[in-house]
Amino acid sequence: MKNNNKITIYIFIIDFLTNIITWYIFIFLLNLIYISSNNILHFALFYILRLIASTVISFILSYMADIKGIDKIMKLILFTFFIITILPISNNDILYNLYFIYIILIIFEINFTLYNILKYSLVPKVSSNLERINSVYELSYSILMVIGPFSALILLRVEDLVPLIALIPSIIFSLIIDRIFIYNTKTHNLSDLNSILRNISENRKLIKIFIFYILLANVGSIVNLAIINISERLPITTSFIAKFSLINTLLGSGSLISSIVIIKNNSLNSKSVLLSWIILSTYPLVIFLLYYFNFSILLTYIFLAFSFLNGFFNSILSIFITSKIQENSKEYIATTFSILNFLSNIISILLLYIEGLFYRYILIILIISSLSLFVSISIHKNLG
């Protein structure tokens, strides 16, 4: 048990510090574009390049990680984060060249996406308690939802210290990773890619998990778009950003508490997962009622309460889905996660475009979202 606690602490430190650094790099690059050019097209290109890099190139590198060893690629990723943090303190004129900024952005986004894929891919190799380790990642994410951007702004003030902070995850990972593997890492031939894709497509349970995840993610994108609109109209404060921050703080707080509960209990049960799915199915319906009854005070507070519950139960489902993928795809796990990332991104792009075109019908879209989640409860029963 002591060894499990040590692994939990190590993984939390690595993930928390790495994500603080990624927030720092992201805001640094965004600020560079603002300084170099205030053209909205350059900001649009910034987000487009992030999506392209995370969708396409990460798949190739994830496959390479399955072949060469996930731990080796992870060491390279953590070291690359450290190298990028050296750039701000160099004060070189090339930093204000848009082409250079975009090149660094692509490298950063590939690194960031690959890190998030491989950190979950490593879990079955270092612990038999998948849900506990996944909940540590969820805990780190929940805390960073609240303090991530603020911490990045502080780091921009003391940027000379940032490379030292960025070295810590790399050093800890390099020192502990070889000692905590519980499964042997195999090497594979490049010609195995076709068999990997065939095995994934023939794994019915894995396909159901993919449907489960993609459905949840895309309903989430509908909800996120609705929340932006809600933040302008909630009758609680006058500031848009204050209302938007309050909603996201409630979501993050629920996620934070949920992660702590799972870490303490070491596992999830099927009843909690089923309840989570029902609550998340209800959330778009609550938003629909809020719109329909013109943001009444009573429904406003019900919505805020459900926002907290949404964050709480969303974490449970996130940990459940991740654990199921890890259980059903141990051999080529990085490739599996990258395929899921690819499919989810492509569908999200199409869905967001459709939402933008038909946003006037948001009430109908919200009802369809709730119904689709309720109907899909049968998928959960088959997953166990």
- Any idea which of 270-284, 301-315, 320-334 has the lowest mean pLDDT? 320-334
Q: How confident is the model over 49-73, as pLDDT tens digits? A: 666 766 666 677 777 777 777 888 8
Q: How confident is the model over 146-156, as pLDDT tens digits? A: 777 677 778 87
Res 190: pLDDT: 46
Tokens in use for 369? Answer: 């979202």
CA distance 378 to 220: 19
Q: What pTM was estimated for this model as a whole?
A: 0.73
Provide mean pLDDT across the span 279-299.
Answer: 90
Q: Enumerate the β-bridge partners of residue 237.
A: 235
Q: Are 273 and 317 in contact (CB under 8 A)?
A: yes
* Whether residue 181 has pLDDT greater than 80: no
Res. 136 pLDDT band, cuts 50 70 90:
confident
- Any idea which of 68-72, 77-81, 252-256 has the lowest mean pLDDT? 68-72
Res. 48 pLDDT band, cuts 50 70 90:
low
- Any idea which of 87-101, 187-201, 240-254 has the lowest mean pLDDT? 187-201
272: nearest Cα among 217, 323, 223: 323
Res. 303 pLDDT band, cuts 50 70 90:
very high
Res. 226 pLDDT band, cuts 50 70 90:
confident
Give the chain's domains with CATH numbers.
2-185 (1.20.1250), 195-383 (1.20.1250)
Task: Name the residue with higher pLDDT: 44 or 103.
Answer: 103
- Any idea which of 113-122, 191-200, 292-301 has the lowest mean pLDDT? 191-200
CA distance 164 to 161: 6
Give CA 166 to chain center in angstroms: 20
The amino acid that residue 208 corresponds to is K
Neighbours of 9 (CB within 10 A): 12
Q: Enumerate the β-bridge partners of residue 235.
A: 237
Res 242: pLDDT: 74
- CA neighbours within 13 Å on the CB side: how many for 20? 24
The amino acid that residue 87 corresponds to is L
* Whether residue 193 has pLDDT greater than 70: no
Average pLDDT, the chain: 79
Res. 218 pLDDT band, cuts 50 70 90:
confident
Res 122: pLDDT: 83
